[in-house]
Amino acid sequence: MPSIQYVFDFTEGDKDQKDLLGGKGANLAEMTRLGLPVPPGFTITTEACRAYLAGGKEPADLRVQVTKALRHLEDSVDRRLGDRHDPLLVSVRSGAKFSMPGMMETVLNIGLNDASVIGLAEASGSDRFAWDSYRRLIQMFGKTVLDIEGELFAEALDKAKAAKGITSDVDLDVTDLMALVQRYKDIVREEAGRDFPQHPREQLDLAIRAVFDSWNTDRARIYRRRERIPHDLGTAVNICTMVFGNLGETSGTGVAFTRDPSTGAPGAYGDYLVNAQGEDVVAGIRNTLSLDDLKEIDPSAHGELMTVMRRLETHYRDLCDIEFTIERGKLWMLQTRVGKRTAAAAFRIATQLVDEHLITEDEALERVSGAQLAQLMFPQFDSGTDRNLLTKAMAASPGAAVGKVVFDSATAVAWAERGEDVILVRKETNPDDLEGMIAATGILTSRGGKTSHAAVVARGMGKTCVCGAEELDVDVAAKLVRVGDLSLLEGDTISIDGSTGEVFAGDVPVMPSPVVLYLEQGLDAAIASADEETGALVRSVDRLLAHADETRRLKVRANADTAEDAARARHLGAEGIGLTRTEHMFLGDRRVLIERVILAVDEDERQEALDALLPMQRADFVELLTAMDGLPVTIRLLDPPLHEFLPNYTELSVRVALAHADGSPDAKDLALLAAVERLHEANPMLGLRGVRLGLVVPGLFGLQVRAIAEAAAHRIKAGGDPKVEIMVPLVGSVMELHLIRDESDLIVADIAEREGTELHIPIGTMIELPRAALTARRIAEVAEFFSFGTNDLTQTTWGFSRDDVEAEFFGKYLDKGVFTVSPFESLDVDGVGRLVDIASTEGRATRPDLKLGVCGEHGGDPDSVHFFHKVGLDYVSCSPFRVPVARLEAGRAAISSDSSDTR
């Protein structure tokens, strides 16, 4: 049986092999294929990682394949790993299919030991460089491979600098570094119980294993869960010839983007550090120089970098994120990938690439998402208010965040869990801070730039972030931060603006975003008060939303209960109302009347209450139909559990008991308590509600149908064009719907004759019970439309009580991988989605023109919208604020579906 190929040279792959080679390996192979200056190396596949994780050890022939690839690499560069004279050194880097910045491990300078460090010094002509590289290896290897607390090495470095009275590690001389290497080796022996390995191949093998193991670290699993990346993909391992940015003033390292990843502004953007290695830039240990500074320092290398960046952006037809090193004037490309970007940058870059004829409008629409559009609709700080500016730094990830200062990840998580908004303040973040970054509303660091760990991760998560605030003196141990003469303690409130880099003391008021202004008032109004950058963003959103509207098949309606909600939804692009919850119309003074309807002791008392409610309901519906004139309005008849319309059982019992104790019980209260006790339910959500209430309480649904029909007739006489639909909730049997429909048809016909108008009011049902979905073929004999109530359908399919389970155990289910996302947030396609598919298919088998929609909040969830398009629904309905999101995703779903059909 032929062995599986687990190792591929950089010359063997291409960018389309991310499943096998991981993103980093595939793109290194692609750059090699393009003839760009990539250091030679090879990739161990994700398949090898999966085999290792499944069996607890490397595949049998992996070591042999690594040996062959290593020898080929040694021959190609004419050096040997860890040799005493001009040694080959390599980096060992993770690289999963999907980018997971900082979540897994990297080890540089593999091959250095007590002997080869001398050879490296001789070959490079720099003792300092060699010993600096050696101390970096021991530090990274100790933390990554031997699981030693990184702070121990950082403290030793800080002590070495303090002893010399310096603040930068580049000011340590060779004697200092030799002593630091010895101290690091002592730390390894004390903490790991073994000496730092001197054999280069042992270093390599242990580093490879550490990268494999890093796939399942807590932080990696948390990141994957948040980003919905499957846990079974595994990571590739890239072994690459080391090139050195820490060889003096003619060397350096950097991270660059072909466009600004924060704003989307055209032109190359990046960070560069002289005399440094790659992790110095990403870790934010030193504040960086710009690419313009690099142009002044090394015009030749800068010019070559610009050429390479333009070529890569043209080749990938997208924003590219690039890691590079300059070794004594020679440019080397260490990585490229399609770069993470903010929501604003995503929209601007997509339309720029269309205008530059690099992508089509359909491709541009696929480059943005509903989640990104939702981010752009969040409020921003009100510049017209008095604000106490503390400092201004790097605008790393946009947004307006207000919260209490915390200095560590654990506190951020704990405070967020008790409902506090927090800002995580750090010198710089590292992968161990991930949980705190997720919990925080914003992130503020005193070091680093737009390519630091904090910035990259925050942009990926859509978190507000400000980096490189050098004026901040962050004292984590003392839990305070100094800004000039001001000291902020843990728990003090600050506000950070990720769009401008400004940091303010206290709570700064927020205002609507310009994107919301555009959506509600139009393009001209939004641009009139916008600066150039904001204007460009709004125009990009307008173009892509317009293209989505031209492309999509799914209609988008809104869930709206009032005329005000309906008007706002219409401004946001809603094409009707998919759900009006009539129970919201029975609050306040009207609640007494609905109580009387339900608790009436005779027909006269009930009819009196119904007669009082009728004009109120009719007026509600007239307002609603006026606001949505010409567009469909689906009105759901009363649905909530019975107890919501009755006096509180506990309060009433206490009142009666106290009255008994005083010897003066109220006869009315006694009668009321008896009625409430008679109707009391152990599980109201599955009790007397929806269609059941309409069948048990005479005249209740008839009241609502009459009010709807009279409102429609009123609008027709006033010259309007009402398109009202009646939806019967919680149907489980076709006979239930038959009974309500028969009653409703008689009422509508009666009003049409009385008012002298023609009324066509379709009657349908919500599909929110599994039985309804499974008997849809019969229900469609009576229903003219189905609207899937996916909130209740999820509850009844899973057997969940949403109000209880989300707080009780959903967190544990997410941690344990039972869910990757709450089924109330994104549709459970395999279970609930299967019921939707069955009901849609079988309902249309009975009634081919059956209209199908969804009115749960899943209608505004981006992933769910794609599913609803796929199964053939006619429309989705969601809250007004999510209408633009649903419009965008419906367009993307149509394009995605067309692409699938042509493949």
Tokens 């890093």 sit at which residue? 214
Distance CA 867, CA 209 (A): 39
Partnered with residue 788 across adjacent β-strands are 767, 854
Q: Tokens for 634, please give them.
A: 């689906």
Q: Is 274 helix (H, G, I), strand (E, B) or coil?
A: strand
Radius of gyration from C-alpha coordinates of the chain: 33
Neighbours of 355 (CB within 10 A): 10
Q: Is 327 helix (H, G, I), strand (E, B) or coil?
A: strand
- Dihedral in degrees, nearest 10, Cα atoms 179, 185, 187, 190: -130
- Are 701 and 726 in contact by the 8 Å Cβ rule? The answer is no
Query: Which CA distances in Å does 374 have to 367, 490, 525, 534?
Result: 15, 31, 20, 16
Q: Note if 855 is an active site residue.
A: yes
Q: Note if 878 is an active site residue.
A: no
Tokens 């419906």 sit at which residue? 890
Distance CA 873, CA 867 (A): 9
Q: Would you say the C-alpha torsion 571, 577, 579, 585 has a positive or negative sign? A: positive
CB burial string 165-202: b at 16+ within 10 A, e below: eeeebeebeeebbbbbbebbbebbeeeeeeebbeebbe
561 — phi, psi (to 5°)?
-110, -10
For the chain, what's the residue count? 903
Partnered with residue 91 across adjacent β-strands are 240
Which one from 467, 855, 869, 878 is the annotated catalytic residue?
855
- Candidates 763, 762, 760; CA nearest to 716 is 760
- Are 729 and 636 in contact by the 8 Å Cβ rule? The answer is yes
Distance CA 481, CA 408 (A): 13
Which one from 49, 240, 302, 453 is the annotated catalytic residue?
453
CA 116 to chain centre: 46
- Are 209 and 103 in contact by the 8 Å Cβ rule? The answer is no
Task: Compute the C-alpha angle 405/411/415, nearest 5°.
Answer: 80
CB neighbours of 86 closer than 8 A, spacing ≥ 6?
79, 119, 120, 122, 123
- Are 499 and 398 in contact by the 8 Å Cβ rule? The answer is yes
- Are 730 and 768 in contact by the 8 Å Cβ rule? The answer is yes
- Dihedral in degrees, nearest 10, Cα atoms 779, 783, 786, 792: -60
- Candidates 398, 408, 393; CA nearest to 471 is 393
Pairing of strands 502-505, 388-392: antiparallel
Tokens 């306040």 sit at which residue? 588
Helix H or strand E segment including 115: none
Q: Is 484 helix (H, G, I), strand (E, B) or coil?
A: coil
Distance CA 10, CA 27 (A): 9
- Are 400 and 382 in contact by the 8 Å Cβ rule? The answer is no
Query: Which CA distances in Å does 82 have to 5, 86, 113?
Result: 26, 8, 7
Tokens 């009653």 sit at which residue? 743
Query: Which CA distances in Å does 17 have to 29, 153, 798, 900?
Result: 9, 38, 38, 20
Q: Would you say the C-alpha torsion 525, 527, 531, 537 has a positive or negative sign? A: positive
- Are 767 and 773 in contact by the 8 Å Cβ rule? The answer is yes
Helix H or strand E segment including 188: helix 174-192
**Active site residues per annotation:** 453, 855
